[in-house]
Amino acid sequence: MLLIPCPWCGPRPENEFRHGGEAHVVRPVDPRCVSDAEWADFLYNRTNPKGIHAERWRHIHGCGRFFNCIRDTVTDRIVTTSK
């Protein structure tokens, strides 16, 4: 179980959180103007890196807020979290 440092509440066990998937996935500003391929890329394609991963977590059983996290997906070590 990961010990995740919530930027608001401090270190808490993983089961207080929900994983929010890859960070910085930007929804197209005007979905009517993008192609099906671009829309699919936004909806479904993910970097899924082996190594450093920028992801989001949500502290659902704490402050309820989303935050960003940098984690190594090989060692599961959390490098840093930020608001």
Partner 1 sequence: MVGSTHFSAWSLLRRAFGGAWPEQWRAPEPRDAYDVVIIGAGGHGLATAYYLASQHGIRNIAVLDKGWLGGGNTGRNTTIIRSNYLCDESAAIYEHALKLWEGLSQALNYNVMYSPRGVMMLAHNHHDVRVFRRHVHANRLLGVDNEWLTPEQAKAFCPPLDIGRSVRYPVLGAALQRRGGVARHDAVAWGYARAASALGVDIVQNCEVTGIDRGPDGAVTGVRTTRGSIRCRKVGVVAAGHTSVLMAMAGVRMPLESFPLQALVSEPVKPVMPCVVMSNTIHAYISQSDKGELVIGAGTDVYTSYSQAGGPHIASHTLEAICELFPTFRRLRMLRNWGGIVDCTPDRSPIIGVTPVPGLFVNCGWGTGGFKATPGSGHVFAATIARGEPHPIAAPFSLDRFRTGRLIDEAAAAAVSH
Which of 65, 66, 19 minimizes the C-alpha distance to 46?
A: 19
What length does the chain have? Answer: 83
Site for partner 1 in 49-78 (CB under 8 A): 49-50, 53, 55, 71, 73-76
Kindly state the tokens that stand for 9.
């509440």
Stretch that binds partner 1, among 14-22, 24-32, 60-68 (CB under 8 A): 14-22
Is 46 one of the binding residues for partner 1 (CB under 8 A)?
yes
Sheet with 66-72, side-by-side order of all strands:
18-22, 52-58, 66-72, 78-82
Residues interacting with partner 1, by CB under 8 A? 1-2, 14-15, 18-19, 21, 36-37, 40-41, 43-50, 53, 55, 71, 73-76
